[in-house]
Structure 1
Amino acid sequence: MHRASVPATPGVGFKPQHFETILAGEQPIGFVEVHAENYMGAGGPPHAMLRQLREHYALSIHGVGLSIGSAAALDTEHLARLKALCDRYEPASFSEHLAWSSHGEVYLNDLLPLPYTPDTLNRIVAHIDQVQHTLGREMLLENPSTYLQFAGSTINETEFMSEIARRTGCGLLLDVNNVFVQAQNHGTSAEDYLAVFPLARVKEIHLGGHDAQTDETGAALLIDAHGAPVADPVWALYESVIARTGPLPTLIEWDNDVPDWPVLAAEARAAGAILSRAEARRAA
């Protein structure tokens, strides 16, 4: 089985408007990430760009449509398209979300939360086994950002993800912004969450921005919107993680209100500085 081997550098989520600039000269990144569902067509400009990027940078493919947590069986046609994409580009890694996003033949434009129970655990383990067997490669599972919790949950999230990784052999993708968002929304501690997260299983990190809003009661609510710079407390959490793990591939996610390339490059350089400090400490 192919194992993830993205370089332990900053990376960015690729946007077509940045294509020419990225290829025009040296950039502060070692990999690019794309959403699988945007490249399931046969050809056209998206694939022409991706082929050229693949010549210069490692590629990470990030799925948003497998609905790993669905109560129904996985969509085998979607999985077949995903396998064709991975076979075509041989990405350094593939990742998906701990979430569900479909009901019957209806696909929802969201990543929805799950109750953490033994039944849910068994279902997700079976789905991940199916994905990894079909793709012939390791899958990374990303921790969610959530806005509610299920009263019926009997397993905490870090234990849930640790057990999935143990039983399937999959890697984990740690989204630090998601940890911060849900800690703020649920009145818990992001530091406590990370203290017990199975960091030894983490193969990639995501960093992104969030929006501060209020709910219908006037209470503060953070939304994982991917449309702003990484917030200072998220940078602090990230540095604390890297101090424990050593350098890891780190993606800057910016999917909405996408800025000009220099803004994204500056975020990548900030991540790179933290990675460099961690590497210097390890060398010392």
Structure 2
Amino acid sequence: MNNRWQLPDLGLGVGLRTPHFADALEADGEIGWLEIISENFMDTGGRPLYVLDELAERHPIVMHGVSLSIGGTDPLDFNYLSRLKGLADRIKAQWVGDHICWTGVAGRNGHDLYPMPYTEESLKLMVERVRIVQDHLERPLVLENPSTYLQFTESTIPEQDFIAELAQQADCALLLDVNNVYVTCRNHGLSAREYLAALPYERVVQIHLAGHTDKGDHCIDTHDGEVCDAVWELYGQVIAAAGNISTLLEWDDSIPSWEELLHEIGKANYYRQQQAPNTTPKEARHSTGPPRQHVD
């Protein structure tokens, strides 16, 4: 399935983190693309920006931010947006993304991704803000579904339907975080498969995979370990329905070696090769068998 903007399937990628700067610079055909946390490079120079400039000459780069606060009620920060666009232009970013959330109020950044009430009012607000941001960036905005631990009693729209309507009305793209779907559905007693079946895959241009912490009665999106069996199963459902989509592994705590990182994202090859054995772009070259034993 082609996405709305004909953006490319970049294959398999990993999030660029400081401990792996040297590994990424030395990588030779080991990875298809890299994702950066936008804010880590917007107000810095020195080695981080030098490394990014070097890598941008060798690999496709995707920008993924955490401070846009697209669901907030504070006025949009056009100084932030201009710096964001400047970085995207500098490294020729494939696309620019952020989260369906709010991050602060009254000019204060809470440095977290807070959940939205899913109502017609918040939908209208977000649609207007997304359109403004896209006009300023001069490129589609790619928005990620959140992991949530509470729900608002005033919500009137299921999360997956809210996201689908937002993408349609604002004409924006989506980043499907499969681990977030699993965590959210586990925490709220929902069906992850039904959630995924409701999404408009023609608007999904990127997928995130990650590990989480299972506390028994709830899960926390910690990005500190391997992708679990159930999330791999859901990823397989997505690829079977939508075809191959640029897929990235996030690992932000207890960061492993570069080789372990590549091995983990390489497990996605099992599903990608089932979908299109002869047409996949450059992949991580470390695993082609099933990720683990499948689960029900």
TM > 0.5 between the two?
yes
RMSD across aligned C-alpha pairs, in angstroms? 1.8
CA offset digits 1:233-261 (Å, max 9, x no partner): 00010011101111100010001111111
Q: 1:83 to 1:170 in 2, by over 3 A?
A: same
Q: 1:7: Cα distance to partner?
A: 3.3
1: CA distance, partners of 2:147 / 2:89: 30
Q: Which residue of 1 aligns with 2:293?
A: none
Contact 2:9 2:244 survives alignment (8 Å):
no
> Distance between the aligned counterparts of 2:274 and 2:24, measured in 1?
25
Q: Does 1:120 align with 2:122?
A: yes
CA distance in 1, matches of 2:86, 2:278: 41
Partners of 1:209 and 1:256 in 2: CA distance:
10
Deviation at 1:40, TM superposition (A): 1.1
Q: 26, 32, 39: which one pairs with 1:37?
A: 39
* Paired position in structure 2 for 1:278: 275
Q: Distance in 1 between matches of 2:247 and 2:63?
A: 14
TM-score of the superposition, structure 1-length normalised?
0.93
The answer to whether the aligner puts 1:178 opposite 2:175 as a matched pair is: no
1:241 aligns with 2:238: yes
**Higher mean C-alpha deviation, range 241-250 or range 38-47:** 38-47
Tell me the distance in 1 between the aligned counterparts of 2:54 and 2:32: 14
Listed as ranges, the gaps of 5+ residues in structure 2 are 281-296
Of 205, 208, 211, the residue aligned with 2:210 is 208
Q: List aligned pairs for 1:118-197, cutoff 5 A.
A: 118-197=120-199
Q: Which residue of 1 is the match for residue 222 of structure 2?
A: 225
By how many angstroms is 1:28 displaced?
Answer: 3.7
Cα distance in 2 between the residues matched to 1:32 and 1:254: 13
CA distance in 2, matches of 1:34, 1:279: 28
User: What is the CA deviation profile of residues 120-179 of structure 1, one whole-angstrom value per residue up to 9, with x for unaligned ones?
Assistant: 001111111111000100111111110011110111112111111111211111000000
Gaps of 5+ in 1: 215-219
User: Residues 64 and 97 of structure 2 are in contact (CA less than 8 Å); yes or no, is this contact kept in structure 1?
Assistant: yes
Residue 282 of structure 1 and its aligned partner are, at CA, apart by 8.6
Bigger share in helix:
1
Shift, 1:4, TM fit: 7.2
One-letter identity of the residue aligned with 2:113: L
Check 1:235–1:63 CA distance in 2 against 1; reply closer, same or farther (3 A cut). Answer: same
SS at match of 1:56: coil
User: 1:275: how far off?
Assistant: 1.3
Gap change, CA 1:278 and 1:70, over 3 Å in 2? same
**CA–CA distance in structure 2, aligned partners of residues 206 and 116 of structure 1:** 22
- Contact kept? 2:224, 2:253, Cα under 8 Å: yes
> Are residue 266 (structure 1) and residue 263 (structure 2) matched?
yes
Matches within 5 A, 1:57-72: 57-72=59-74
1:50 is paired with a residue of what secondary structure?
helix
- Separation in 1 of the partners of 2:88 and 2:155? 34
Structure 2 Cα separation of the partners of residues 233 and 281 of structure 1: 27
Say if 1:36 and 1:82, in contact at 8 Å, map to a contact too: yes
The alpha-carbon deviation at position 6 of structure 1 amounts to 4.6
- How many residue pairs were aligned? 277
Partner of 2:200: 198
Instruction: Give the CA deviation at 1:212.
Output: 1.6
Shift of 1:269: 1.0
Please give the alpha-carbon distance, in whole angstroms, between the structure 2 residues aligned to 1:204 and 1:124.
Answer: 20
- TM-score for both structures, normalised by structure 2: 0.89
The question of whether the paired residues in 2 share the 8 Å contact of 1:96 and 1:140 is answered with: yes
Is residue 257 of structure 2 the alignment partner of residue 255 of structure 1? no
SS in structure 2 of the partner of residue 259 of structure 1: coil
C-alpha distance in 1, partners of 2:163/2:61?
25
User: Share of identical aligned residues, percent?
Assistant: 41
- Distance in 1 (CA, whole Å) between partners of 2:145 and 2:232 is 17
